[in-house]
């Protein structure tokens, strides 16, 4: 599957997004981009806040863009710093990406291409809820297809 992904196009989209980062406190711009299962590329940048706890990671902007442009599932993901170097999403953002990932989503990491399950092993999310509800009568379907 890695041969089907244009990683350079994802990195270029992430670098472009990074140029829009709002980082007056850390001066550490981040850009993220992902391929959606319908072929779109969505992106986001980090947006800081004087109340540091409400700062938005680039992945938050990316997922918002995904929702605003029609939804879908993320197939491949890349994230870069201000110099264009690959960054690994933090744990919170890995969970955010998992929530919106296609099964087997690929991430470009500092140690190479990994699946979402490798970077967030034993994750809990929508797929687990769907499986649980399939086995129990009366459960609603949360599958966001």
Assign residue 117 the CATH number of its domain. 3.40.140.10
The helix (run of H) or strand (run of E) holding residue 15 is helix 7-18
| Predicted pLDDT at 121 | 92
**SS3 state at 74:** strand
In a domain, 114, yes or no: yes
DSSP state of 139: P
Beta bridge partners of 82: none
Confidence tier at 1 by pLDDT (50, 70, 90): very low
Q: How far is CA 87 from the centre of its chain?
A: 12
- Could you say which of 4, 8, 16, 59 is catalytic? 59
Long-range contacts of 124-129, Cβ-Cβ distance < 8 Å, separation of 24 or more: 125/95, 125/98, 125/99, 126/99, 127/103
Confidence (pTM) = 0.87
| Predicted pLDDT at 143 | 55
118 assigned to active site: no
In a domain, 141, yes or no: no
- The pair of structure tokens assigned to 92 is 């919170």
What is the span of the domain harbouring residue 122? 2-134
In a domain, 10, yes or no: yes
For residue range 113-133, list pLDDT tens digits in order.
Answer: 999 999 999 888 888 888 888
- The pair of structure tokens assigned to 131 is 């499986």
Residue 115 gets the label, from left (phi > 0), alpha (psi -120 to 50) or beta, of beta
- Give the chain's mean pLDDT: 92
How many domains does the chain contain in total?
Answer: 1
Confidence tier at 142 by pLDDT (50, 70, 90): low
Task: Compute the radius of gyration of the chain from its Cα atoms.
Answer: 16
Percent of the chain whose pLDDT exceeds 90? 81
In a domain, 145, yes or no: no
What number is the average pLDDT over the span 67-95?
A: 97
């Amino acid at each position: 599957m890695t041969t089907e992904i244009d990683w350079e196009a994802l990195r270029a989209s992430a670098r472009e997004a990074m140029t829009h980062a709002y980082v007056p406190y850390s001066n550490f711009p981040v850009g993220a981009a992902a391929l959606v299962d319908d072929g779109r590329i969505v992106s986001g940048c980090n947006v800081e806040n004087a109340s540091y706890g409400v700062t938005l990671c680039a992945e938050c902007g990316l997922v918002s863009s995904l929702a605003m442009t029609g939804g879908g599932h993320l197939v491949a993901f890349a994230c870069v710093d201000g110099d264009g170097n690959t960054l690994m999403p933090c744990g919170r953002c890995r969970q955010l990406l998992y929530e919106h990932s296609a099964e087997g989503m690929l991430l470009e990491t500092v140690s190479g291409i990994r699946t979402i399950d490798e970077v967030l092993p034993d994750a809990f999310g929508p797929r687990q809820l769907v499986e649980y509800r399939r086995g129990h009568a009366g459960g609603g379907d949360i599958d966001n297809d």
